Structure 1
Amino acid sequence: MSTLTSSPPKKLTDRIKSTALHSSIDLTILPFHTQALESISALSSTTPTPLPDFSNATRIDTHTHPIPPWFRALEPLAAGRATPEWNLSSHLEFMASHGIRKSVLAVSTPHANAFMSERDEGLRKRKTVALARLLNEYVAQIHRLYPERFAWMAITPLPYVHEAIAEARYALEDLGASGMCVLTNHEGVYPGDESFDDLWGYLQGRAEMGGGRQVVFVHPTEPVVRVEGVGYVASRPSPLRSGLGEFYFETARAISSLTACKTLTKFSNLHWRISHGAGAFPDISERFLLGFSDESDEARRAYKSRFWYDSAGPVFPNQVKGLTEGMKVPVSQLVFGTDYPYGIGFWDVDVNIAGLADADFLSEEEKEMVYWRNAEGLWGDKILA
């Protein structure tokens, strides 16, 4: 849990600079670092205004994204669409109007991997590490401002594993993150890759010491390949933007990676929060598992007990049956998500939510499980203010 409380703006920015320096992180490597620090400082000096009416709100939204203005300027496109604008007041209004009492925040793609065209690997690494720290400090400040409305998942500077472990430790122990968020690939490296094992081992150790679990949110991103002399470039085979389908295939690749490389069996205290109802994985799962007969039984058990799939859509009422009917995943593993604000303008959020609300194959008790009970069971007091 966080050991930090709200601080005066200058004290906060001094603390961020000092802890970064102590961690050998050079924030000044980013040309927008002053703007980023000022935006965090502005959050710290915000006086919480009267909130919208949350008296009838019960839902927990497990898939939402904050977008600092400097991050939006850095990444003006998201999966081929304009990156949406975001602010706290609009997010709170959205929550209240849709019966959401708490949102779990996680920075969306590309996380800190915003410098893949940088040919100098050392410079790319330093920028990635610095951006991860600034993004985590920003989201942590939102949580400190409204702890009863927001929990959050920290990001890391993967694929730089040593630095990722250091950032995970800082975010979980000092900033109060409720878990970690990783992308389906980081500079082309998928989460089951053996090079990531030290990170998973660190999280496994925390889970064992705490007698519980560690939650890892897996979010889709662009597939990439390294081109010598150029850097990393998008490798999607379709001319269509990634949000229309490639993200679903990326999600399937990530789950396949975790399975094939035995990450699921090696780190049994990690619980995996999977985006968009597991994307394309339900359609390929049986064929894929034919190639991993020694792991298939244990993998199927994990899919039904340590994987948690959100409804950010459109998952209900049709796609979800690939999980519930095809893979026999119980309703206890389904959680509610909206993908706010990225989903706005892509799909009708009200229709997306109605797909779950009107699902005739779920009882009212089961819908309540999806809306909030399962999320409470997954995170426990890590998201309960």
Structure 2
Amino acid sequence: MTAPEEASGLVDVHAHFVTDSYVRQARAAGHELPDGMPAWPGWSAEAHLELMDRNGIVTSFLSVSSPGVHFGDDAAARRLAREVNEDAARVAAARPGRFGFFASLPLPDVDGALAEIAHAFDELGADGVVLETNTHGVYLGDGRLEAVFAELGRRRAVVFLHPTSPACWEQTALGRPRPMVEFIFDTARTVTDLLMAGTLDRHPGLEVIVPHCGGALPVLADRVNGFMKLFQPSADGGAPDAVEQLRRLHYDMAGPAFPRQIPALLSLVEPDRLLYGSDYCWTPAHGVDAHVAAVDAAPAPVADADWRSLTTANARRLLPRLARRPHRTPEE
């Protein structure tokens, strides 16, 4: 099948991959039913390309989803991060223009994460990094991670956040799959932690992508802002503005974006902060087909634009390597 034209094609910033080796190691670490889901998905580049061509997706940026790469042992996490990043780099190199990738880091191992940042960007050509919302209960505003965010900020890196199960999921998930509700609130929890810790203010070079239409953030933004002004006033009587900081972030449309989540998100941010996301392969192919159909049917919030042209233009501003990648069809 001929690949879609770039002018009308989507750019997918929320796309996942798994390998047999990764799944085997995750299962050995106790993740037989990851995050309460019924099974691990399968993935191949060929099946992913078929899905992309059917739905007019030009480029997909691959990342490892929850449960990430750190299963309790720093040395093993460093090896697994390196393995999945090199796997993703090979997929992207073999199909230029169709795939990019966000590198996994072995957090909360800071030294290992700093080494992997250097390898991923300088040797593998990563397009950014993916960070789980927490790793073994360490959330992203934790002071122990400051050196990681300082280096990512120095590099002006794209930082794609991805939710995972909270440390207390046994009590809060009520036996249900954690992606349904827990992921949405863990996204809000870790972004709020970044706001309250001042991480985003200290490192303005960070280009953060928040998944799933911001999770619960659009409806919590004013509440978080009020608490920040109450508890974090500065000496001059001012206070950090959570809403202003949230408006500087980017948000993908993965999940059931319509009819309610996108209007809530657009009450917080401008349309130029929105990006397309499929959540494949954790969202099965038929779910992606339905999601793309809903995106195509929904009116865009900008005159003389649709969601394809709007989100793709936003992605090209955020990920300038897109303009430098040659486009190839699967047959080439």
TM-score normalised by length of structure 2: 0.87
Distance 2:95 2:287 in 1: 27
User: Which residue in the other structure is 1:324 paired with?
Assistant: 266
* Cα distance in 2 between the residues matched to 1:102 and 1:56: 11
1:382: how far off? 5.8
**CA apart distance, 1:384:** 4.1
Q: Quick one: distance in 2 between partners of 1:218 and 1:296?
A: 26
- For residues 227-258 of structure 1, the C-alpha deviation after alignment (integer angstroms, 9 at most, x for no partner) is xxxxxx85544321101111001111011011
Partner of 2:253: 311
Sort the Cα spacing of 1:236 and 1:314 in 2 relative to 1 into closer, same or farther, 3 A.
same
Of 144, 157, 160, the residue aligned with 2:93 is 144
> Highest relative contact order (Cα 8 Å, sep 6+), 1 or 2?
2
- Within the candidate set 86, 89, 102, 1:153 is matched to 102
Are the counterparts in 1 of residues 212 and 253 from structure 2 also a CA contact under 8 Å?
yes
- State the shift of 1:205 in Å: 2.0
Tell me which amino acid in the other structure corresponds to 1:171: A
Q: Tell me the secondary structure at the aligned position of residue 105 of structure 1.
A: strand
1:112 paired to 2:69: yes
> What's the counterpart of residue 19 of structure 1?
none
Cα root mean square deviation, aligned = 2.0
Q: How many residues align?
A: 309
Distance (Å, rounded) in 1 between the aligned partners of 2:311 and 2:86 = 29
Structure 1 235/217 Cα, relative in aligned 2: closer, same or farther at 3 Å? farther
Is the 8 Å Cα contact of residues 265 and 298 (structure 1) preserved in structure 2?
Answer: no
Match of 1:353 in 2: 292
Tell me the residue number matched to 2:213. 277
Corresponding residue for residue 22 of structure 1: none
Tell me if the contact between 1:151 and 1:383 (Cα under 8 Å) persists in the aligned partners. Answer: no
SS at match of 1:348: helix
Q: Determine which of 19, 22, 30 is the counterpart of 1:68.
A: 19
Query: Which range moved further: 75-84 or 160-169?
Result: 75-84
Query: Does the 8 Å contact 1:106/1:154 carry over to 2?
Result: yes
Deviates more, 1:89-98 or 1:135-144: 135-144
Q: CA 1:150–1:296 in 2, change beyond 3 Å: closer, same or farther?
A: farther
Give the Cα separation in 1 of the matches to 2:246 and 2:78: 32
Which residue in the other structure is 1:14 paired with? none
The answer to whether the 8 A contact 1:219-1:274 is kept is yes
**In structure 2, what is the Cα distance between the partners aligned to 1:343 and 1:97?**
16
5+ residue gaps in structure 1?
A: 1-51, 117-123, 207-212, 226-232
SS of 2:250's partner is: strand
**1:247: which partner in 2?**
183
SS of the residue corresponding to residue 224 of structure 1 reads coil
2:110 counterpart of 1:171: no
Q: TM-score, normalised by structure 1?
A: 0.76
Give the residue type in structure 2 aligned to 1:338.
Answer: S
Name which one, 1 or 2, has greater alpha-carbon Rg. 1
Q: How does 1:212-251 map to 2 (within 5 A)?
A: 213-224=156-167, 236-251=172-187
Q: What secondary structure, in the 3-state scheme, does the structure 2 residue paired with 1:104 have?
A: strand
Give the secondary structure class of the aligned counterpart of 2:42. Answer: coil
CA–CA distance in structure 1, aligned partners of residues 209 and 306 of structure 2: 19
Determine if contact 2:300/2:307 at 8 Å carries over to the other structure: no
| Identity %, equivalent residues | 31
